[in-house]
Amino acid sequence: MDGIINVYKPAGMSSFSCVKKVSGIVGEKKAGHGGTLDPEATGILPVFLGKATKLTDFMHSYNKSYRAGFLLGRATDSCDIWGNTISETEISKLNNVTKKQIETALMSFIGECTQIPPMYSAIKIGGVPAYKLARAGKDVEVKSRVVNIFTVQLLSYDDETHIGVFDISCSKGTYIRSVCSDLGKKLGIEACMCSLERTEYGPFNMTNSVNLEHCSIENILPCDYFLKKYPVVELDNDEAKKYASGAYKVIDLKNKTVSGDILPGQEYLRIYNNGVLFALAKVKYDYVKSIMELTPYKFFG
């Protein structure tokens, strides 16, 4: 059974457990996901089944959107409310923070910015996830990284509970827990994340998602659902056979129709046989000779 189910992961469940649950529901042992969500986070979790598991690495190139809750006045070792408290802000100082100040601080994140991911994260240090080292009591030094925040909007802030909510769209590698922690630093106080919902991930969103308890084979999307940005070429049976054996490496654009936009720097090409996704190739275009040079990458036939 090949394809993708855009599952809405509930809170209190690891991404691995969610995938295992879906795998059991649809009866497909080979399964994986396209991007980890923390156990307490909710939202979009694309689950790849069968041959579609060959495409999970492509998910990491897509941007993401979240709805995040933040709590002002507390800092934790994990940058969220589920971690150990390491410092707190005095109420008198906390009460001076205004909604306008929070909006201004959030807006300052837009664009490229340097971020230090939480030490309790899946980032590997010497081949070991940082969170495992942190839980073992070892010193963890996570290197800073450049991320891109495209939009951010404050939706609400409660002066009494000091809890707020914002929507954010960002590039891969962005940690929303760090955004919440850095928000506090910009305001001169402590802060941490108190809720997180992934609302969009590439072509997957809330509209085409399905609750875990309602998952079924009817919710399976085709393997190439999120590869639509890549051009397509159709090979006949003889050409497909030659391609699979490595004998068909050049496509003459004068004799073969390629559908979709061929953009500068386009790296991949979808190959179909009898209307079905057969392979994904790395492609190099030679516009002078009007040919495409193919390097086999993934096979689905």
Smallest CA-to-CA distance from 32 within 21, 14, 16 is with: 16
Residue 2 appears among annotated catalytic residues: no
CA distance linking residue 160 with residue 25, whole number of Å: 44
Amino acid at 71: L
Amino acid at 84: N
- List own/partner pairs for 272-275 with CB under 8 A and 24 or more apart: 272/232, 272/233, 272/234, 272/235, 273/234, 273/235, 273/236, 273/237, 273/239, 273/240, 273/301, 274/237, 275/234
Q: Which of 2, 38, 182, 224 is catalytic?
A: 38
Cβ 64 vs Cβ 170: under 8 Å = yes
Cβ 84 vs Cβ 76: under 8 Å = yes
Structure tokens at 46: 């694309």
Residues with a known catalytic role:
38
